[in-house]
Amino acid sequence: MKSMLLLTDFSEAAFRAAEYAVNFAGLVGIEKVILYNAYRTIAQGSDFWVPAPKVDNEIFVETMEALGLVHDQLEVMMTNNNIQVEVLAEDVYLPERINGLCKEKGIDIIAMGVSGKSSLETLFMGSNTSQVLKVSEYPVLIVPQETLVGRSINSVVFATDQEVFSKKTLGRLELLLSKLKPTVYVVDMANDKRSNDWIPDVLKPYHPTFYYVEGGDVVKGALEFASEQKISMIITIPQQQSLLSSIFHKSLSKELAYNAKLPLISIP
């Protein structure tokens, strides 16, 4: 795990995510962070995205200046001076560009922020963030705005809605765990009579502790357990986008509001 694509829209939530992400980068040995903003210019009189050279150039310059300011702020707070931070802006539609960009730049993980209940609602109602989660072929670190920055990652909850995993997915999970070396908890349904053999072999060296959820709501159980045990992070391998969507949807209720402080990594 050597490189990270750090998405920003220059919001407060995005900056908080950037703070957390550069700290995370130091923990897992990331050497390069690309601070990235995707924007789109629309020619006057058109309902569609088309090149608009003059406007595009002005926006590009302004965007690069804004990225430079964020870059400088991050460098001041970074404890690991070995991490190289670059800036990149493109006039593109982010969901269509994200996988190609990651391939071109050799990206290992994408990081982005989420803020507040309104943003969580927006997340699964067609926003760019939502679309990135749907299309990403790379691991995504999601950082809610209330996430505490600077804490070590000592424990993780593993939650998934599948039992068959690709070699690529397992390789990514194994690499992440080898960097963090956390205490691992696995959330499963109490009414499921299957043995624990379904868990990926890459988890077994960490001797995971199982937490069984009554009532079959594994998402709610994972969030409640994470809050009660002061877990550092949730790691999920979603079979369908519904699991990830459900995690954020649950956090909108008062009962699960504490989820707003917990980072999550989705590994496709």
Mean of all residue pLDDT scores within the chain = 81
Q: Please check whether residues 204 and 73 belong to one and the same domain.
A: no
* 81-95 average pLDDT score: 92
264/56 Cα distance (integer angstroms) = 34
Q: Please check whether residues 127 and 41 belong to one and the same domain.
A: yes
Domain of 213, CATH number, reads 3.40.50
Q: Please check whether residues 42 and 119 belong to one and the same domain.
A: yes
- DSSP of 164-195: ---HHHHHHHHHHHHHH--EEEEEEETT----
120/248 Cα distance (integer angstroms) = 6
Q: What is each CA distance from 225 to 88, 132, 141, 220, 266, in whole angstroms?
A: 39, 28, 20, 9, 18
Final residue in a domain of this structure, among 114, 144, 174: 144
Q: Look at residue 213 and give its three-state secondary structure.
A: strand
* pLDDT value for 268: 87
Q: Please check whether residues 166 and 139 belong to one and the same domain.
A: no
Final residue in a domain of this structure, among 144, 176, 198: 144
* pLDDT value for 107: 98
Say if residue 234's pLDDT is above 70: yes
Say if residue 174's pLDDT is above 60: yes
* 180-191 average pLDDT score: 84
Final residue in a domain of this structure, among 144, 178, 199: 144
Q: Please check whether residues 175 and 237 belong to one and the same domain.
A: yes
* Residue 150 within any structural domain of the chain: no
CB distance 39 to 59 below 8 Å? yes
63/101 Cα distance (integer angstroms) = 18
* pLDDT value for 257: 34
* Residue 13 within any structural domain of the chain: yes
Q: Please check whether residues 101 and 164 belong to one and the same domain.
A: no
Q: State percent of the chain over pLDDT 70.
A: 74
Domain of 108, CATH number, reads 3.40.50.620
Q: Name the DSSP letter for residue 199.
A: S
Q: How many structural domains does the chain have?
A: 2
Token representation of residue 98: 């994200």
CB distance 122 to 253 below 8 Å? no
What is the band of 252 on the pLDDT scale with cuts at 50, 70, 90?
Answer: very low
Q: Please check whether residues 134 and 180 belong to one and the same domain.
A: no
Summarize pLDDT for 10-43 with one digit per residue, the tens.
988 899 999 999 999 999 999 999 999 998 765 4
47/41 Cα distance (integer angstroms) = 11
Say if residue 188's pLDDT is above 80: no
Range of the domain at 210: 155-266
* Residue 149 within any structural domain of the chain: no
* 227-248 average pLDDT score: 74
Q: Please check whether residues 171 and 245 belong to one and the same domain.
A: yes
* pLDDT value for 189: 65
Token representation of residue 246: 């459900």
